[in-house]
Structure 1
Amino acid sequence: MSQKIIEGMFFDELMVKCEKTPDTTIVTFENGEYGDEPLTYRDLFVNTCKVARRLKDSGIGRGDTFSLVMRNHPEFLYCMGAASMLGAVVVPIDPRSKGGKLSYQIKDSSSKGVIFTSEFTEEVEKSLAALNGVKVLGVVHKDGFAAPPREKYRDFNEILSGPEVPPVDGRNDDVKAPLEIIYTSGTTGDPKGVLIKGNRMPMFKLLAQFVWGYTDADKLYTGLSLTHGNAQAVTLVPSLMLGVPSVISRKFTKSRLWDICRKHGCTTFSLLGGMMMGIYSEPRRPNDADNPVKKVISAGTPIAIWEDFEKRFDVKIHEWYAAVEGGFAHNPPGAGPVGSFGKTLEGVMEMKVVREDDTECAPHEIGELVFIPKEGKAEVEYVGKKKASREKTRGGVLRSGDMCHRDENGWFYFNFRKGGGLRRQGDFIQPEYIEKVLADMDEVSDVCVYGIPAESGAPGESDIVAAVVPAVGKTIDPGSIFRRLSASLDNNSVPSYLQVVDEIPKSASEKNLDRILRGEFAKDAKNVFGSGDYR
């Protein structure tokens, strides 16, 4: 090797691993009925070099951005490695983005080109028609997808099946150079692109070693989209950099999750709170606890199901809190109270709950969660949004936008998103308790509880809507559901309306997109039932 190896550089780490253990199967992409795609370090290195050469020949170089529109596939990893090698910036976009939202992210990130899987050809072409100067860099084809338009675009499969090529000359040697732009979920509006530098990758490795406690005996699993920071931080990067094997599903599946873990011997996986309620709402099986999983790394475990989930599936929950912009806290199994997302890392940062004037809240007083670095100032760069970037770190602290509280012993708890709390007749309502009661019903396979402006017109008050998805082969009897809710909940927590839907819309991070449900809600709609009609 003529060029110096840069420790912590994503591509360089792959290259070193390929030299040492080329035939180690490190990542297996689980594709359901279409079969698995196991990758060795040699596969990763060889194909990353091919993709980097293709990108360079297409005019993608240092500082240039290009977008990915695909689910979890090996090509995602090759593109990340190629970006690291070239000093380019990869923009992974939630493949469920359509129309204006997809166009917005491609344009907002100043992407020069797009790589996508053929299942998204129609949506990508619609978006590109509204943009100028953005070219198609390649189309990936997979079993089960429509054939790619080979007469129009370069077939990525052809590139990968071609001859091997060496790494490009003049590889990127700046580990602090931007590597990715990861967009926020956009649960309240247009998503914001967060610039991620290459030196964040080795931080994920350290967390895996000293916080998650991964060992050689582990096998990691995720079904979260690689377009989201969680899947990269908790599963992908630790797997590649530590040499701990992992399994990554093409997309999240709550019904097959445990069977996948059994088949592959996975010992740990990562979840977000919305996913956990969905898994919990699956019909109970006699073998629920018969699985190899020891620990679930979860961000946002609903307190209402925390202990039941651990007991039912015989796992321990390692709760944590973080955002793509930064900040970190965790609550290892047995360390802190159930319901707490934990404490931050001593010596690295400080965590406080503050009032509007930045004075610290008393225990159990709700305020905004902020993080203060022990050294320097908090920095966040939203692409093209200097004002929003400055506001996010006003006063040198990272402002989470999450309303939280702490107890007398310094353990922190999430309450609600700033501006998004549910209040009814003066009481703050915890949606997760309502969701648990519904999730325990056999006829419900998924649920999302949200608020709409109260019919009373009281400022800050909400009427509660429970959107439910019927289980396969089951029907929803609104009267029966309202009666059981009334028997299990206090009066203020009983939803005003049931909204029966085919599915709960999700973000890339599997957050429930209640704003979409809210937009579809109408009191006189055929799929909406009012509690007042069943008293």
Structure 2
Amino acid sequence: FTKQVEKNPDKIVIIFEDQRWTYGQLDEYSNRLARYIRTQPMSRGDSVAVIMENRPEYVGTWLGLSKAGFVGALVNTNLRKDVLIHSIKAANSKSVIFGAELRDAIDEIKDKLPGVGLYQSSEKPDTPVVEGAVDLNKSMVNISSDAVEVDLSLGCPRDKLIYIYTSGTTGMPKAAVINNLRYMLMSCGVYYMLGLEHTDRVYDPLPLYHTAGGIIGVGPALCVGITVVLRRKFSASKFWADCIEHRCTVAQYIGEICRFLLSLPPSPNDTAHNVRLMYGNGLRPQIWESFVKRFNVEQIGEFYGATEGNSNLVNIDNRPGAVGFVPRFGDALYRVALLRIDDETGEPVRGPDGLCTRCKPDEPGIFVGKINPKKAVHDFRGYADEKESEKKIIRDVFKKGDRFFNSGDILVMDELGYFYFKDRRGDTFRWKGENVATAEVEAVISNIIGLRDSVVYGVEVPGNEGKAGMVAIYDPHQTLCLQELADGLKKSLPAYARPLFVRVLAELPLTGE
């Protein structure tokens, strides 16, 4: 980033609404924040939670924290109450920097965060500040924007840069470690493998707390020198209009975005843009070709990868439906594989020798990547919680003593080596572009309905990507109050995590486990 600042200080790095931030301005903002935060009662290496909606200050905040020697933990802005508290504590955050737009969410949990510093970042002057919080804007007014002394020798490739939260395939949100090398790999990988250019403008309407928006979207701007156009929140009706207004040549997507765009009535904007490339994940084969044809997009860069994982795939040759390609003879070069699993237990099938069984072409299997601590690209840093990291490791896969990262995702590889995403196993399903942890939702519902038994799972809804939530509730005496349940869910869970369907059961089938 510093090299980009030195090379092009006046080049626009971020466009947001009517704002234009140059590399120099972003550098100065992050310098002021870094200088201020160093005066606060924290130690180098401490985690600081960052909770705010998309805007340039978001990028400047975690960048400044990094310059100061701290690790930004990028928290989902939809979380509330216990789940928000859990996420802040999961990364052992010593402080929280939050946007004024989220002050109500912080105000209702601040008493449960003793000893945690609170800093409010506001877009408008004289915005009311949460009681007990520091007004970050006023505190930074007289802080120098001169370059911060950064000991780059401490910024080793494997050092933590940020935390990004993921439910993975099981449990509550976990803070996944993103080190310097992984951030660079994802940012530069997209740039070089998909043929981006320094003159490109990338439209990024995705949340910056996710890998897709915060790294793969913003990363090429910080690391390579392109311009990124941010939007506070995605709008299907404004998507192509934004691309036209800001002269975007590249745009990001998730599968839901593509379906939303296709569902809109035809418009002149459909082909009046200059977007030649769209990259992201979740564009289903069923709508791939119709999407490309209607919107006249020359190239689709579909990719696959887990935030916390050590293996990624990318489709660089426009093959409809594929998430990536590894030559059948390339196994020794890029150690990923599909393992046959038991449909009942979800565990890998092992032979008489105790080793796992590799899937044949066109056979669904769990996607895994070999862990090699000697190669930073193939290392697995997992989560802030080492016990949670251990759960994602499969041992004795192809030989005794080897270790592989378990993605929890079911993929298929064809005869040529193209990979296709099929499903996600475990206690998580995906809806509206977000991972929903069933354990998290079940815990909230249990508190609302008086500790009755309930089971949450995902169900397919025709015409929609992912799976919608369904909850089965044990109510033998028919005393369940649905209005109370609805009100409680609205207060405690973001919209994407609230079950859309409720089954009321006189009996709740249980397994022997």
Structure 1 length as normaliser, TM-score? 0.73
Residue pair 1:175, 1:197 contacting (<8 A) in 2 also: no
The structure 1 residue matched to 2:47, chosen from 65, 68, 76, is 65
Local SS of the residue matching 2:74: strand
The counterpart of 2:416, out of the listed 409, 412, 415, is 409
Structure 2 regions of 5+ residues with no counterpart? 341-347, 351-355, 396-402, 430-457, 474-489, 506-513
Give yes or no for contact 1:380–1:393 (8 Å, CA) kept in 2.
no
Q: 1:155 aligns with which of 117, 129, 135?
A: 135
Aligned to 1:392: 392
- TM-aligned CA deviation for residue 186 of structure 1: 6.6
**Residue 383 (structure 1) aligned with residue 384 (structure 2):** yes
Structure 1: 5+ residue stretches without partners: 1-12, 31-35, 423-428, 437-446, 456-502, 525-535
Q: Is the 8 A contact 2:73 2:163 kept in 1?
A: yes
C-alpha distance in structure 2 between counterparts of 1:87 and 1:348, whole Å: 35
Residues 138-177 of structure 1 aligned to structure 2 (within 5 Å): 138-143=119-124, 147-149=127-129, 152-169=132-149, 171=151, 173-176=153-156, 177=159
User: Residue 368 of structure 2 aligns with which residue?
Assistant: 370
- Aligned-pair CA distance for 1:214: 0.8
CA RMSD of aligned residues (A): 3.2
1: CA distance, partners of 2:117 / 2:498: 31
* C-alpha contact 2:204 2:213 (8 A) present in aligned 1: yes
State how far apart, in whole Å, the 2-side matches of 1:333 and 1:170 are: 41
Residues 1:521 and 1:300: Cα distance change in structure 2 (over 3 Å): same
Q: For residues 206-245 of structure 1, what are the structure 2 equivalents within 5 Å?
A: 206-245=188-227
Deviation track 1:227-274 (CA, whole Å, cap 9, x = no partner) reads 111113322111122111111112222221111000001111121122
Letter in 1 for 2:412: H
Does the CA contact (< 8 Å) of 1:344 and 1:350 recur in 2? no
Q: Secondary structure at the match of 1:44?
A: helix
Task: After superposition, give the CA deviation of every residue in 1:483-525 in whole Å (9 maximum; x if it has no partner).
Answer: xxxxxxxxxxxxxxxxxxxx9x998xxxx94x5225x53579x
Aligned ranges 1:451-530 → 2 under 5 Å: 513=496, 516-518=498-500, 521-522=502-503
Q: Secondary structure at the match of 1:362?
A: coil
Report the AA paired with residue 142 of structure 1: E
What is the aligned partner in structure 1 of residue 481 from structure 2? none
Say if 1:168 and 1:102 are closer, same or farther in 2 by CA, change over 3 A.
same
Corresponding residue to 2:296 among 300, 311, 314: 314
CA drift of 1:324 comes to 0.8
SS at match of 2:181: helix
Query: Following TM superposition, by how much is the alpha carbon of 1:57 offset from its aligned partner in structure 2, in angstroms?
Result: 0.9
Q: 1:12-47: CA deviations, max 9, x gaps?
A: x33x332332211111123xxxxx221111111211
Q: Calculate percent identity across the aligned residue pairs.
A: 28
Work out the number of aligned pairs and report it.
431
CA spacing shift, 1:340–1:19, aligned 2, 3 Å: closer
Between the aligned partners of 1:406 and 1:421, the Cα distance in structure 2 is 23
Deviation at 1:222, TM superposition (A): 0.5
Match of 1:323 in 2: 306
Give CA deviations for 1:382-410 in whole Å, capped at 9, x if unaligned.
Answer: 112x2331231222211110011111111
Partner residue of 1:100?
82
With structure 2 as the length reference, what TM-score do the two structures score? 0.76
Structure-2 change in CA distance of 1:122 and 1:196 (3 Å): same
For residue 57 of structure 1, give the secondary structure of its aligned residue in structure 2: coil
The answer to whether the 8 Å contact 1:83/1:179 transfers is no
- Matched with 2:358 is 360
Farther off after superposition, 157-166 or 67-76: 157-166
Match of 1:466 in 2: none
Contact 1:28 1:246 in 2 (8 A): yes
**AA partner of residue 5 (structure 2):** C
1:350 is aligned, of 294, 312, 335, to: 335
